[in-house]
Amino acid sequence: AGQRHIVQVAFPVAQPRQSMHALRLILALGSGLAILLAFLVGWVFAGTALDPIHRITQTAQKIGEERDFSRRVNYTGPQDEVGQLANTFNSMLSRLQTAFQKVEHSLEMQSDFVADVSHELRTPLTTLRGNLGLLRRKSLPAEDQADILNDMVDESDRLIRLVNDLLLLARADAGRSL
């Protein structure tokens, strides 16, 4: 029958423990370095990705401070979400610029209108005042007094017409039916 042989191998118990300790140390240091490297690479990529948004923010702040609606965001990157944001922002600025110009034009027209109305009202008022000064004189013939009174009635009618026209314009501006 066959003989059986047994081979017995022995090694010290301390050696696997030292190997495990070295492996733990290598894994801890390697993991720490990998995490640090991943953090730095992520930081750089995030900064690069967020730079266009930072430029949009700076442009918006400058526009708000200077009220210069003709400025636009300069974006030359791909038409991703940031590109769409830049385009939307520029489109909004175009509409704001148009609205701002319309408001400025309206204010100029309103200023001109007020000046014209003031002149139109001042003329009959000046005539009325002059006629009242003439009537204060008691040495006027009755015929001249009648002419002055007729002129005053005409000028007061003119004033009433002007005021009515202004009220009509004000109602039209307020959206009421004429």
- pLDDT (tens digit, 9 = 90+) per residue, 130-171? 888 888 877 888 888 888 889 999 989 998 998 888 888 878
Is the pTM above the cut of 0.75?
A: no
- pLDDT of amino acid 176: 56
Taken as a whole, the chain contains a residue count of 178
Distance CA 144, CA 131 (A): 11
Beta strands in 46-151 (DSSP E): none
Q: Is the pLDDT of residue 127 over 80?
A: yes
Q: Is the pLDDT of residue 6 over 70?
A: yes
Instruction: Write the CB contacts of 145 (distance below 8 Å, at least 6 apart in sequence).
Output: 135
pLDDT tens-place string over residues 47-94:
887 888 888 888 888 888 888 888 888 777 778 888 888 888 889 888
What average pLDDT does the segment 30-45 reach? Answer: 95
Inter-axis angle of helices 142-173 and 81-136, to 10 degrees?
Answer: 170
Q: Please give the backbone phi and psi of residue 122, each rounded to the nearest 5 degrees, phi first.
A: -65, -35
- pLDDT of amino acid 178: 46
Task: Please name which of 158, 89, 153, 92 lies closest in space to residue 123, comparing C-alpha atoms.
Answer: 158
